[in-house]
Chains A and B, each alone.
Chain A
Amino acid sequence: MSSTHNVEYQKKELPAKIRTIGLVLFIIGLIGVAASYLTDSSRSAFNNIIMLSFLTSVGLGSLFLVAVEYVAGAVWSTPFRRIPEFLSTILLVLPVVVVPLLFKLGDIFHWMHPEVVEADKILKGKAPYLNVEFFMVRVVLFILLWIVFYYFITRTSKKQDLTFDPSLTKKNIKLSAAFIPVFGITISFFAFDWLMSLEPHWFSTIFGVYYFSGSILAAFAAVTFVVVMLNENGYLVKGLTNDHYYSLGAFMFAFTNFWAYIAFSQFLLIWYANLPEETFWFLQRWEGNWIYYTIGLIFIRFAIPYFGLLSQPSKMDPKRLKIMSVWLLFAHWYDLYWLAMPNYSKDGILFSWIEIAFPVLSVGIVILLFVQLSKKNNLVAIGDPKLKRGIDFRL
């Protein structure tokens, strides 16, 4: 326990500027979103789904990173574990993000109309799963489960800041081990519900893994960006080295590849077998100007981050990491748009201020949450017994 005392950490308030930026983005975003709902509510609802799945990616993905650190006994990420813990607070916002969607469910999911289901043999067969009541149960249950795990895991971690009690680590390991299977199942069905069932005739067993791979990448990108920014300005514990940066960069690189692997596997199998009940989903994204969007996905989500993070020095370069992490977050939004939007707009890409308002609001929310949390809590888990080892981590 004595070793935790020779860690240099001085809690510093984040500058007020950040809060202002967050507030401005939040207000602009909120006005934009409200206006967009008044102008084109169906289109806004689709954008709202993208926002929901994006925030879930970052929030739930961050909680998963925290859980994996505990379970795997990793030390390199301990000095900045608070960052994913803070980011997972996004989960608390999800109920609010879901609410506007609940009023527009009929516009989004055409399996919600009984007369459509009645006329469609296949949708009729899916009715035991795809029906309004069960859907609502899942929405509520998933978010509730996530929030419960979020609450207990972060509470234990915060408590350790005061008590320095190593048995709390043990407790969190157990909680995390319970969370991981729950995470695996809920994130898959979340993806089926909100993204795959937008096209209720289409199905792909890998879809949950696809969303998972993108989510973890987004979470890593968000954590990397915040860690590099805070560390450069001295808000984190002293002694973080290139080796810590390298690990973050390597994980972003690895998950970029993993996403590409999953996405390519899904595409290749459907392209090769050429069954009409599967291929139409890709064909929708290959018609009109969607084709440019789809080809853009390969470059934006894979080629650019791949070559951007390929070399060893680039994984340690803070500037490169900041650029790539922001890029990857953008790419994740781009990917979610690719999953959701072609179901709404079969004619072509839609882009206007409506599509900007939602990401702006999301960023605003995350910044405000972060600033709020950093006021009350340490930015470093100073009570964690692994902290010293984490700082001393060398490749």
Chain B
Amino acid sequence: MSDPALLSLAEARSVPPRELLQACRARIEQWQPRINAFIELHENPSGGRVPLAHKDMFYRAGRVSSCGSKIRRDWVAHETSAALERLDAAGFADLGRLNMSEFAYGPTGHNEHFGDCRNPWNPDYITGGSSSGSGAAVAARLVFGALGSDTGGSVRLPAAACGITGLKTTWGRVPLRGAMPLSPSLDTIGPLARSAEDCAILLQAIAGDDGSQEKRELRIAMSSAWIERSAEPEVAAAVLAAAKTLDTTPVEVEPPDFDTLSAHCLVVMQAEASAQHAQWMRERPADYSSAVRARLEAGYAIPAASYLEVLRLRRAALERFCAQTLGGADLYLLPGIAMRVPTRAQTGPAGGADMPRMLGDLTRLTRWVNYLGVPALVVPCGVDSRGLPLSLQLVGRPFSEALLLAAGRAYQRATDWHRRVPA
């Protein structure tokens, strides 16, 4: 392969850093005008071998961290996030600050302050959010991996829409210090990369080795009839085909109550995000985009008792998922997104009457995972008739990241969807 920027992260570690940097910069020059993945490219990237870049909400002392917002456009961080410190220590270079949804509070990748991030497979389509730049930059091979945050799907949606691999970690697995808070009971940090193997390398750096062993035979649970009934036909066909590749005899189970769990997640997310932003919402509400302001307004009338009741219920919901949905299985398999990737116009400010339903559908299969606090992996599993990626999601028990990544590696050894590169 002539372009070192197209290597896997594992392979890139044996290439001289200068060559990698030049190759990534050449691709950034070519792709940035088309996809707007970077907010800022550092002139002097931090030392290290393999180039990464991160969602602009991981603080680095002395540098601006805009959080994708007008309010923090010029805000300089006083500390470096724990996740960045660990990547620095592991020898990765940080090329710059990546685009994101404003304050990580949007599932599409629209951003009126820094410009929308656009899907490398077709710029008319959304990247998914909120880690939009992370998804687009990794998919276009501008960097070898990126950090994202996931509060309701913000790692998995960009991974799904951009055709890369994304890991939503167990709540508490990766320290949140120095990362912008959105909803502390749900916030998680995770890697987006070109494969499960590359995600494992990044997870090792930011979370350490959990000592888990790969199991010889994975047991998969899924709800085939629900997928056929509820996902768009092209999505259902790709996911059911992927299940056969991964495991020929999955256990059929009743699906979790996605919509109720999502509603619980929304109560927690809206109450916490609105509390987090209360001061700015009092003092400068006009500095938010109308979409984010509307989402924030929605949290201020949630009764405190309802919020606490939902948090009290979380234990029972997790125990039910592990005992009844997973049962004797290791992982639960479902689509990353039940619909095909929508366009930016359909889901943007002028999206029309159908937009709220469409945004709800987009996050329908991701938010419930955050409420349960469990880890989940998204991998590409096909392309639709328009050439946009389709994705598979695997959800595990708490702290089962190693198992999820092993399943992802097994799937990617048998398929080559993760090797496709946008032209």
Query: Are A and B associated in one complex?
Result: no
Interface residues in chain B, defined as those with a beta carbon under 8 Å from any beta carbon in chain A: none
